[in-house]
């Protein structure tokens, strides 16, 4: 397994969507490491300050272009590079509101656009704004949570139009970014990751039919995703993997 970070200086990490679920578990796992210098953790809202001085919590609406631009300016002023960026932002349903479509008649334009904004555009726009911190020759990874249901080749059940299509769009956008990024940092690696069905608020309404042993705790998923990230380097950039390291067809 390759090292997660270069050894020349303490690592600077950013986790988008790090206030709960898988994102929070990833932050907590990373804070157990001694080679972490600082973790920027993004969320819409924070209810309490961070307990570890290395964790810098930022309130950010990643769907707002001006806020995203301001985030980029702030980070460029505070650090010289990012060693790891993990995007955990995602939208599958709204509490007491819109849900994944079961049939074509359920499709609504506003829900399609909202899903594409959060699930596809946000990770790419993060890459755009933070590209100056990803350039260079340092070992650097950009990982984003996708989903197996975003695989066109693996789609056998149908339904979930907006979420499936938005995750498929994210896969294409970030694979395209990976090709450009390779020219700007030959040691960069962009990965699309399927975390499996995890016991979080995102999956809560859909857990009833999950097979026994296939509903994972966030801490387990965070550990496995970090192993997958560490196990892949520049030659694997732009590829799509499950939590167990197995490749997923596009």
pLDDT of 212 strictly over 80: no
Average the pLDDT over 26-45 and give the result.
97
pTM of the predicted model over 0.75: yes
The pLDDT of residue 204 is 62
- Round the average pLDDT of the chain to a whole number and report it: 94
Enclosing domain of residue 217 = 11-242
Using pLDDT thresholds of 50, 70 and 90, give the confidence band for residue 205: low
Q: Is residue 4 part of a domain?
A: no
Q: Is residue 83 part of a domain?
A: yes
Residue with tokens 């950039």, as numbered in its chain: 237
Q: Is residue 75 part of a domain?
A: yes
Tokens for 179?
């090709």
CA 197 to chain centre: 15
Q: Is residue 247 part of a domain?
A: no
Q: Is residue 122 part of a domain?
A: yes
Q: Is residue 5 part of a domain?
A: no
Q: Could you report the per-residue pLDDT of 150-197, keeping only the tens digit for each?
A: 999 999 999 999 999 999 999 999 999 999 999 999 999 999 999 998
pLDDT of 234 strictly over 80: yes
Please give the tally of structural domains in the chain. 1
Q: Is residue 70 part of a domain?
A: yes
The pLDDT of residue 16 is 98
Q: Could you report the per-residue pLDDT of 79-101, keeping only the tens digit for each?
A: 999 999 999 999 998 877 789 99
- CATH, residue 133: 3.40.50.720
Q: Is residue 236 part of a domain?
A: yes
Using pLDDT thresholds of 50, 70 and 90, give the confidence band for residue 1: low
């Amino acid at each position: 397994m390759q090292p997660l970070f270069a050894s020349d200086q303490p690592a600077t990490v950013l986790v988008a969507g790090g206030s709960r679920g898988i994102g929070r578990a990833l932050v907590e796992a990373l804070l157990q490491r001694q080679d972490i210098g600082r973790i920027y953790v993004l969320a819409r809202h924070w209810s309490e300050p961070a307990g570890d001085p290395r964790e810098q919590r930022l309130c950010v609406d990643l769907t707002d272009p001006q806020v995203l631009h301001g985030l980029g300016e702030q980070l460029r002023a505070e650090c010289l590079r990012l060693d790891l960026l993990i995007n955990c932002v995602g939208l599958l349903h709204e509490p007491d509101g819109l849900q994944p479509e079961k049939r074509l008649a359920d499709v609504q334009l506003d829900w399609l656009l909202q899903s594409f904004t959060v699930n596809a555009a946000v990770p790419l726009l993060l890459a755009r704004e933070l590209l100056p911190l990803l350039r260079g020759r340092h070992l650097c990874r950009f990982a984003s949570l996708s989903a197996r249901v975003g695989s066109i080749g693996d789609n056998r059940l149908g339904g979930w139009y907006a979420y499936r299509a938005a995750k498929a769009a994210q896969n294409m956008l970030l694979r395209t970014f990976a090709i450009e990024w390779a020219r700007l940092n030959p040691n960069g690696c962009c990965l699309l990751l399927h975390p499996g069905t995890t016991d979080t608020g995102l999956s809560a309404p859909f857990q009833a039919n999950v097979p026994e042993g296939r509903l994972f705790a966030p801490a387990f998923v965070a550990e496995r995703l970090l192993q997958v990230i560490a196990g892949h380097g520049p030659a694997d950039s732009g590829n799509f993997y499950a939590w167990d390291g197995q490749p997923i067809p596009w």
